[in-house]
Amino acid sequence: MNLIYELDNIKTDEQSLLINETLFHNANGYIGVRSNFEEGYPDGIDTIRGAYINAFYDFREIKQAEAFYGFAVEKQTMPNVHDVQGITLYLGDEPFSMFTGIVVAAKRTLNMGAGYTERYIHWLSPRGKEAEIRIRRLTSFVRPHLFLIDYSVTALNFEGPVTFVSTHRGDVENYFNPADPRLSQEHFRSLLPLEVVIEGTASFVSSATSKSRLTIRTAVDHILTDGDDGIGVITTVQEGHGAASHIEGRVKKKGILTLYKYCIFTDSLRPIPGAAAAELRRVMEEKPCALYSAQEEYLSKFWEGACIEIEGDKQLEKAVAYNLFELIQSVGKDPYSNIAAKGLSGEGYEGHYFWDTEIYMEPFFTLTNPAFAKNLISYRYGILDEARKNARLLGHHRGALFPWRTIMGRECSGYFPAGTAQYHINGDIAWSVVSYYLATGDLSFIAEKGAEIVFECARLWLDVGNYYRGKFRINEVTGPDEYTCLVNNNYYTNASAQYNLRWAVRFWEILNDADILEGVRKRIDLSPGEIDAFSQAAEAMYLPYDEELKINPQDDSFLTKKKWDMFHTPKEEFPLLLHHHPLYLNRYQVCKQADTVLAHFIFEDAQSLETMRNSFLYYEEITTHDSSLSTCIYSIVASKLGFREKASRYFGDSAKLDILNLHGNTKDGIHTANMGGTWMAIVYGFAGLRIKESGIYFAPALPESWKTCRFKIRYQDSQILAELTGRRTVFTLLSGTPKIINVYGKGYELSGSVTVQSPNPSRA
Ligand code: BGC
């Protein structure tokens, strides 16, 4: 598998720069640094120069013009933190810039196997000095506080003094755009200066967030070398709320000078032993090559379980690899953090965590690296008390309601119809806990944390819904489709509530049988009477069905509305949310994203194949896919229904969404949910994987242009390799105990390898 993503020229127009700042960012789940040029751009070129810390937040006011009871009036925002990227290189007295002199050649590389990015420039200065410049950057997975810039210059036709001016700035602010509701709307400077300390050549900058009173301390130091030893003269001085280091050396003709800039980020959420200074010393004692090899070793373990090989479409294989790499860059690896909608690559959605995690990204981790999934669930467990408070605020007497968007657990959604009203987040989180349990069999974690989440979410459904003519109904909620708000009996929501309630009952039984129910039962004072009530509501759950169209209507009123005319809508009008008032959209049958179609994937046992096929075709005509969470789901369901051409087309849009900037806003950050969705479209879509209480199921059907597709998953104590070709699939048990696998509805014992022929042409 080729793990090099490369652009062999570096475009310097504003759009390309902004997009590549995102695409080539470095992150490790703790810190993320956008790929801005160290030396900056000329005045007049817009940039989103940023570095972010996962889960680090400040509070900001939500300006509600009419602040009704219970409206969120404060949100959390991920601040842009200290800027350690600045380095200007002087060849003699000529500063290097890609906007002056002549760029003879230039290349940008992301090495996903070794875990670094690189910018290479062959440059001729205005006065004729010719140099090769190679700048590598790494955010270490093994030493998560470290961001390293490794900057080397080769003098091709000159010798003499070379100076680097390297900056460490605490005076930073966030990006904003008043015209885009997906971004912060106004100017925001969160960090207040605390102190700057210079110790020898190192600088330490500390700041505090203005309202949440969290602190950040960054430490920076340098080593200049022309081989093994440190050389040159380094002088570091305070500059405002920051520091500048002058590093002076000499280069021989054809000689190389390399500057290592070590940058340590620490914050008060996760104090580390000895803090920034000690960590700086620790990383500087290691040779850079040791840091690089540790990074590569970490990633080789990751790829060993996660990689997907596609023969027949190498471009697509690389796009898939890119998406998976971004997931490991984005996932929080400590209990404070989760995965933001844009990872750590930009400021879109302000660093918030959504249902994106549970439905779109966690499945990848659950099935390749379950420890990360466990951590993501632990994060939700950590904010369960906030979710309980949120439920009370919304008038619910029992249970917990998870916030629609959040960092530290409180609701950040200012527009409640397309935010707080999305109660399905409870069902999504419950689904992810069940999926983790089914994939891993980790019952002790369910007893410790998982079941409590599922029980509390189930309690909420009982409080939200009510019986009417014998059916349990859920009124006044919003489903996944944000162009249809505040409806009664959204099909997806009701199906997810039903699943949640059923599994609350199952977990009670399973934990009781294993004799480990008592802890959680006592903790939340859960009674058998409540379990009966869960069971009754689940069985009486109303799932809308239309006899005439033979589909599941998205909600009670959906089919009574006029249909949006997609065919005659000009291209420039998409995404519709930027051109129409929400109320206008709400009155149409028009979907921003998969809603009922998503339910047909996740809760597929609730309907017949015929209903799902009818629904798919119906909703396809009125879905804009204005949300990036949509095409991957359409691909999965198209695969299931045997629409193979559609499955490939939707998959392609999903796999290349950021690389090709298909939604036009990659500058604001990657679309992490879609990236997980790409993986799902292969594993759940083309391979037809499902894991249920009754076992593990496959129904492979590869796109016609692919020769082979190989991937691995973890299932309970085993690792299974699936190798799909058009005609057959070979399953191999790589480790663990034998398993029964069901392929196209037939059971096989997997203890070595099993080969299963594909039925032709569709498996629906
Ligand atoms: C989608 C939501 C999603 C959010 C963050 C919105 O555009 O409609 O479903 O959770 O983006 O990715």
Per-residue pLDDT reduced to its tens digit, 354-403 = 999 999 999 999 999 999 999 999 999 999 999 999 999 999 999 999 99
pLDDT of residue 760: 64
pLDDT at 424: 98
Residue in this structure with the two tokens 């934990």, named with its chain if needed = 511
Indicate if the pLDDT at residue 127 is higher than 90. yes
Q: Is the pLDDT of residue 690 over 90?
A: yes
pLDDT at 228: 66
Query: What is this structure's pTM?
Result: 0.97
- Confidence class for position 230, pLDDT limits 50, 70, 90: confident
Tell me, what's the pLDDT at 1?
Answer: 82
Active site residues: 482
The Cα 541–Cα 564 span in angstroms is 30
pLDDT at 353 over 80: yes
- Say whether pLDDT at 698 is over 70: yes
**Residue 627 alpha carbon, nearest atom of ligand 1:** 7
Cα 320 to averaged position of ligand 1 atoms, centre (Å): 21
Angle at alpha carbon of residue 680, lines to 679 and 681, rounded to 5°: 90
Structure-token match 């609730």, residue found? 606
Distance CA 443, CA 450 (A): 9
Q: Which residues line ligand 1 (CB under 6 A)?
A: 341, 349, 354-356, 480, 482, 592-593, 627, 629, 673
CA-CA distance, 345 to 355, in Å (whole number)?
Answer: 19
Distance 216 CA to ligand 1 centre (A): 29
Report whether 315 contacts 6 (CB < 8 A): no
Query: In the prediction, which pLDDT does 764 show?
Result: 39
Give the rounded percent of residues in the chain with a pLDDT score beyond 70: 99
User: Probe ligand 1: pick from 356, 358, 481, 625, max atoms within 8 Å of CB?
Assistant: 356
pLDDT tens per residue across span 337-352: 999 999 999 999 999 9
**Which pLDDT does position 762 carry in this prediction?**
47
| Contact present, 722 and 741 (Cβ < 8 Å) | no
Burial class (CB in 10 A: 0-12, 13-18, 19+), 509: exposed
pLDDT at residue 28 greater than cutoff 90: yes
Q: Map residue 650 onto helix, strand or coil.
A: helix
State the pLDDT confidence band at 471, using cuts at 50, 70 and 90. very high
Q: Which ligand 1 atom is nearest residue 481's CA? A: 8
pLDDT of 229 > 80? The answer is no
- pLDDT per residue over 479-533, tens digit each? 999 999 999 999 999 999 999 999 999 999 999 999 999 999 999 999 999 999 9
Which whole-number Å values give the CA distances from 652 to 283, 401, 598, 686, 763, in the listed order?
A: 41, 35, 18, 13, 21
Q: How far is the CA of 627 from the centre of ligand 1 (A)?
A: 6
Tokens 């060849």 locate to: 91
- Residue 188 has a pLDDT of 79
Confidence of residue 271 (pLDDT cuts 50, 70, 90): confident
Residue 629 CA, ligand 1 centroid: distance in Å = 7
- Averaged pLDDT of the chain: 96
**Ligand 1 binding pocket mutation candidate from 429, 624, 629 (most atoms within 8 A of CB):** 629
Check whether 67 has a pLDDT greater than 80: yes
Q: For position 763, what pLDDT does the model report?
A: 45
Task: List phi, psi (to 5°) of 159.
Answer: -145, 165
The yes-or-no verdict on residue 623 having pLDDT over 50 is: yes
Q: Where are the domains of the chain?
A: 4-268
Atom 12 of ligand 1: nearest residue by CA position? 341
Mutate to test the pocket of ligand 1, among 482, 597, 658, 668 (most ligand atoms within 8 A of CB): 482
State the DSSP H helix or E strand holding residue 282, giving kind and residue range, or none if neither. helix 275-285
pLDDT digits (tens, 9 = 90+) for 590-621: 999 999 999 999 999 999 999 999 999 999 99
**CATH assignment of 4-268, among 2.40.128.20, 2.70.98.40, 3.30.70.260, 3.30.70.2190:** 2.70.98.40
Kindly give the distance from the C-alpha atom of residue 751 to the centroid of ligand 1, in angstroms, as a whole number.
42
pLDDT at 525: 98
Q: Give me the pLDDT at residue 227, please.
A: 83
Q: Are 562 and 587 in contact (CB under 8 A)?
A: yes
- Give the pLDDT confidence of 564-586 residue by residue, as tens digits: 999 999 999 999 999 999 999 99
Using DSSP's 3-state secondary structure scheme, residue 210 falls into coil
Q: Provide the pLDDT for residue 383.
A: 98
What residue's CA is closest to ligand 1, atom 5? Answer: 341
C-alpha closest to that of 453 among 473, 421, 431: 431
Percent of the chain with pLDDT over 90: 94
